[in-house]
Amino acid sequence: GAVVSQHPSRVICKSGTSVKIECRSLDFQATTMFWYRQFPKQSLMLMATSNEGSKATYEQGVEKDKFLINHASLTLSTLTVTSAHPEDSSFYICSAGGADFSGSGEQFFGPGTRLTVL
Amino acid sequence: AQSVTQPDIHITVSEGASLELRCNYSYGATPYLFWYVQSPGQGLQLLLKYFSGDTLVQGIKGFEAEFKRSQSSFNLRKPSVHWSDAAEYFCAVGSYGNKLVFGAGTILRVKS
């Protein structure tokens, strides 16, 4: 159980376009979803936390107008990278935590999305 | 603030040898502790977790970890490493707001 999927797994886009990444919890209700960014050979950097039906909470230094997060249902969160530029190229990973996991920090991770902006 | 330190960036072990990956945390209360593994280009897979109780925790793929409060450590061990264990390993501590704070990761290389 506790499977999280991400789509697409890879995306290549031109500079200036917007890209949407979907994160779905397949077999549980994710009250909270997290979006991370990972640069090569580095650890995960938390970008934002989203709770179903409310606005996302962004970490310091993350541009909320550039990285739009929507968590419209208990099984789906989306990250939209607006007006993408080459420096936005990275590996984006989502994770989900449900009501059963609240307080512990336990999260289940998606497989990641490799974004390349040309 | 919570923090996690993984002092070894790279570790190389021979196949069949034992493995220990170090993790030290800084956290004011009883921590929730996790070990994740990441293969190249993949997401993170949970190996094991510690919430309370027995300080020696068994995980998947033959891994175990021991919580030592006095040393603020949660080291990951495996008695006999397989070539398929080569990956990057992340230690993490549960933080406020259900967040996770990750260490920098340790890359494990397995030589035959």
Q: What's residue B10's pLDDT?
A: 95
Q: What's residue A102's pLDDT?
A: 55
Q: What's residue B24's pLDDT?
A: 96
CA separation for the pair B73, B35 (Å, rounded): 12
Position A99 pLDDT exceeds 70 = no
Q: What's residue A103's pLDDT?
A: 62
Mean pLDDT of A99-115: 78
CB B42 to CB A111 under 8 A?
yes
The residue written with tokens 């493995």 in the block is B19
Mean pLDDT of B81-96: 92
Please name the member of B34, B43, B49 whose beta carbon is closest to the beta carbon of A93.
Answer: B43
Position A107 pLDDT exceeds 70 = yes
Mean pLDDT for chain A?
Answer: 90
Per DSSP, chain A holds a count of helices (H) and strands (E) of 0, 11
Chain A residue numbers with beta carbons less than 8 Å from the beta carbon of B23 are: none
CB B99 to CB A34 under 8 A?
yes
Chain B residue numbers with beta carbons less than 8 Å from the beta carbon of A114 are: 41
Lowest mean pLDDT among A19-28, A50-59, A85-94, B57-66: A50-59
Chain B residue numbers with beta carbons less than 8 Å from the beta carbon of A57 are: 97
Task: State the alpha helices, DSSP H only, in chain B.
Answer: none
Token readout for A49 is 């936390």
Non-local (6+) Cβ contacts of B94 within 8 A are: A103, A104, A105, A106, B31, B32, B33, B34, B100
Q: For the segment B24-75, what is each residue's pLDDT rounded down to a tens digit?
A: 999 877 788 999 999 988 889 999 999 888 999 999 999 999 999 999 999 9
Residue A93: closest C-alpha in chain B: B43
